[in-house]
Amino acid sequence: MKIRKLQHDETPPNDLLLLADPSRELVDAYIAEGECYVAEENGERIGVFVVVALDANTIEIKNIAVREDRQGQGIGKKLLQSAITVAKENGYRTVEIGTGNSSIGQLSLYQKCGFRISSVIKDFFTDYYDEVIMENGIQCIDMIRLRLEIQ
Ligand code: ACO
């Protein structure tokens, strides 16, 4: 598997991006603003992450996703580690990531990679998304923000 930065004239992997975020509008907005990285194997895109700088010291992972048939094989962890490396190489001190209160697997993965919960944005998913999002039998309402200090 190779992870590389997508060039600005290449089409983003929208099918993968929409696995992590059901809002095409939000996906388009952070793709325009940030840098998109893809994981490829045998010429096929199997994973993606998008990073957006929040300020000179802080970068946020706005989207991370693995193709459904390749989930649970360690690829998500490799993508997250690669995003942390990108942040370090570009001199950022802090990496942030946000996910839903119902995203149990994602919360597990991020904490296993060293992220710690920093804040909660109450009602984020009911304020900004039209549809009701359910995961693990829980309604996704609040955004849990996590942070990793890297240097
Ligand atoms: N429950 C508990 N732990 C989990 C779960 C789960 N559902 N999913 C992953 N983990 C843990 C694993 O146990 C593993 O830990 P280990 O290394 O100790 O064994 C670790 O997380 C890494 O697992 P991976 O196999 O690397 O995860 P995967 O390749 O499936 O990628 C991802 C994780 C990106 C969340 C993937 O499942 C996915 O694409 N999901 C749909 C899209 C999504 O929800 N993206 C995140 C939205 S938030 C955002 O984008 C900022």
| Portion of the chain with pLDDT greater than 70, in percent | 100
Q: Where are the beta strands (DSSP E) in the chain?
A: 2-5, 35-41, 44-53, 58-66, 94-100, 116-121, 134-135, 138-139, 143-149
Q: What is the pLDDT of residues 14-39, one digit of tens each?
A: 999 999 998 899 999 999 999 999 99
Find out whether the beta carbon of 77 lies less than 6 Å from any atom of ligand 1: yes
CB 49 within 8 A of CB 31: no
Pocket test for ligand 1, best of 50, 68, 71, 145 (most atoms within 8 A of CB): 71
Please determine, for residue 119, whether its predicted confidence score (pLDDT) is greater than 90. Answer: yes
Single-letter code of the amino acid located at 36? C
- pLDDT tens track for 72-110: 999 999 999 999 999 999 999 999 999 999 999 999 999
What confidence score (pLDDT) does residue 103 get? 97
Quote the mean pLDDT of the chain: 97
Across residues 119-131, what is the average pLDDT? 95
**Cα 107 to ligand 1 centroid, rounded to whole Å:** 8
